[in-house]
Amino acid sequence: MTIKAPNAKKETHEISMHGDKRNDEFAWLRDPNWQQVMQDPTVLRSDIRDYLEQENAFTKDWMQDTEALQSELFEEMKGRIKEDDSTVPSKDGSYHYYSRYNLGAQHPLHCRYANKDEEEILLDTDTLAKQYDYFDVGEYEHSPDHHYFAYCVDTKGSEFYTLQIIDLTTGHYLPEKIENIQGNFIWAMDSQTIFYTTLDSNHRPDKVYRHRINTSEEDVLVYEEKNAGFFVGLDRTDSNRFILISVHDHTTTEVHYLDAYQPQQDAKLFQTRCKDLEYSIDDHNDVWLITTNADGCEDFKIMSTALDKTESGYWQDYYVPEEGTLLKGIHCFKDYLVRYERIQGLPKITLRHFESNQEYAIKFDEEAYELGLDPGYEYDTNEMRFSYTSMTTPNQIYDFNMQTRERILRKQQEVPSGHEPSDYVTKRVFATADDGTNIPISLLYKKDTAIDNSAPLLLYGYGSYGSSMPASFSTTRFSLVDRGFVYAIAHIRGGMELGYHWYTDGKLHNKKNTFTDFITAGNYLAKSKYTSTGKITVHGGSAGGMLIGAVINMSPDLFHSAIADVPFVDVLNTMCDDTLPLTPPEWPEWGNPIINEGDYHYIKSYSPYDNVSIQNYPHLLVTAGLTDPRVTYWEPAKWVAKLRNLKQGDKILLLKTIMDAGHGGASGRFDSLKEVALMYAFVLKLHGEKLTIK
């Protein structure tokens, strides 16, 4: 070490709420002009920048002796990626649309063909990206008549997107450029109208506008949401008949719809929002199909109603799942309804023929796997596309004939450096929590790894927002697994792996179940000889970073080291600040400590930043993104400053802030691998032993 660990200054910042007083000594790290920083990182206050750069320099210095290892890891992970990869073309009328990479390219080409031998490049994002430090294309979509190609791009990582449109006949851009949008837009079926969402001053999507291309008409406000607790998004039904404006928080939905063929008409309300009523809609012939939790159906069901009778009083049951089956969503084709469900944590695809009502499920064999659905562009078709993967099986893309039930493998993910699934073991085990709940854990390791307490283990978790963590294939993990690590995913409460109750049992005043489940998983894996106490590295990002912060406060001796990516750790302060982008919409997830004293004290009891104490902590690597609108940079910065001030012992504490990116880190497909290589090098260095690929 040539650089001393930074020591952030302290400033008195007293907070009083519900009779409770706090002194947030590192509150100064929040720039009062943070909204401007999102748009222009150069305006960050100089003393804050100095501190972040000192932390970056300290991290670089401590990691300097791993630079060769980082390069080795990077090349390994890059070698598992097919450099000239491409997606399976998706048919839309007379064209097939797809994306592909040139050798060495960080970003893809978006292409199409009518004749397979005559490729047409619609957008070369790799060339565009070269002039920016950060470059991310959000949504992109061709017009229904195939004449135009629209896309939106973010060049700062702050998730403010700019929409641009290309005339595919001439190859020229249209003069209009729509800035500071959410990155969510929809073409109407006239191919002349685009609907898009804009962000308010607090970075919340709150308005929908209608834009007519090739005209000087002023864009028309179609919908405005006045409640800061609700986000606005755009979608369309599978038939392309309707454009949908979805207004939602985490527990309540309201949908407005427009005729996609008559885009000048006003939007119509489907069903007014009712607290805790969630629903989404699709259409088939003369009825709406509604996926909803109405009537207390916690795991959701399908209801139907006539197109002109949308209020909930008209809804009738169409399909009610068996107990223990979570309905995640549906896709409609002309002749078939496809359901995506989860049963005991495993995904399931079921198809129903509309006319006969006969249905069947697609069968899979592995113990733990993940599925994905790609409905494609076409509605009147018997072809459905899905993906299959497991922790040992690279991603497979299938075209499935819904009529003949024939399954055709269209693409097998290639691992150029080689991968033999039979060299690895994947399984699902269960840890029992103190309240008797069984916590699923997905495992991956080499079959010659000794299960005798000697293996190091990386335990990953998330456990929030009802997000299920897939037991899917990841090429990066093998750089640890091939060095003798066991890789584990704890499917803790707060996700939705075992049904909607799995989510509600890990939110609001049940949030601590998420943390104790994760600790239970770590203890189980040690007792079951997959690893041992003191050999466990824990990893989580965003709300999963909050998980990491909480468990190292609660049970620091269990873990050897920890990685917290853009961690949501300043939970109490953030939930008490209704000017931040995500705060009002997230009160149903965490509670509203501004108005509810019970919520305040419960959040305070687990908020990682508020519960840092004088104790030994595991080795810790923390990352942040300066322009991150989801978890603002000062959350991890404040947390590290407080940890550095209070922690005991000589365990290392590192903070790396990416000064030109946001929540997702580096934008290029190879640059993002460098961040993973840094994390893995951190873990490998700390094991103090020469771990080599077997």
The catalytic site residues sit at 542, 628, 663
- Asked if 424 contacts 447 with a C-beta cutoff of 8 angstroms, the reply is yes
* Pairing relationship of beta strands 287-292 and 279-284 according to DSSP bridges: antiparallel
Please state, in angstroms and as integers, the Cα–Cα distance from residue 361 to each residue in 156, 345, 346, 667, following that order. 44, 16, 13, 38
User: What is the C-alpha to C-alpha distance for residues 632 and 587, in angstroms, rounded to an integer?
Assistant: 17
- What does 98-110 look like in DSSP terms, one character per residue? EEE--TT-SSPEE
**Given CA atoms 626, 628, 633, 636 in this order, what sign does their dihedral have?**
negative
Q: Would you say how long the chain is, in residues?
A: 694
Within 13 Å of residue 570, how many CA atoms lie on the same side as its CB? 27
Other Cβ atoms within 10 Å of 246 Cβ, number = 20
CA angle 300, 372, 116 (to 5 degrees): 140
Structure-block tokens of residue 53 = 């750069």
Crossing angle of the two packed helices 512-527 and 597-606, in degrees rounded to 10: 30
Taking phi over 0 as left and psi of -120 to 50 as alpha, with beta for the rest, 626 belongs to alpha
Other Cβ atoms within 10 Å of 113 Cβ, number = 15
**417: three-class secondary structure by DSSP:** coil
Q: Which helix (H) or strand (E) holds 71?
A: helix 67-79
- Asked if 555 contacts 6 with a C-beta cutoff of 8 angstroms, the reply is no
Crossing angle of the two packed helices 67-79 and 671-686, in degrees rounded to 10: 130
**57: three-class secondary structure by DSSP:** helix
In the chain, what are the helix, strand and coil shares in percent, each to the nearest 5?
A: 25, 35, 45
What letter does residue 4 receive in the DSSP assignment?
Answer: P
User: What is the C-alpha to C-alpha distance for residues 460 and 540, in angstroms, rounded to an integer?
Assistant: 6
- Asked if 244 contacts 281 with a C-beta cutoff of 8 angstroms, the reply is yes
Q: Could you tell me the maximum CA-CA distance found in the chain, to the nearest angstrom?
A: 74
- Asked if 123 contacts 109 with a C-beta cutoff of 8 angstroms, the reply is yes
Structure-block tokens of residue 265 = 């008409």
Within 13 Å of residue 250, how many CA atoms lie on the same side as its CB? 20
- Asked if 62 contacts 82 with a C-beta cutoff of 8 angstroms, the reply is no
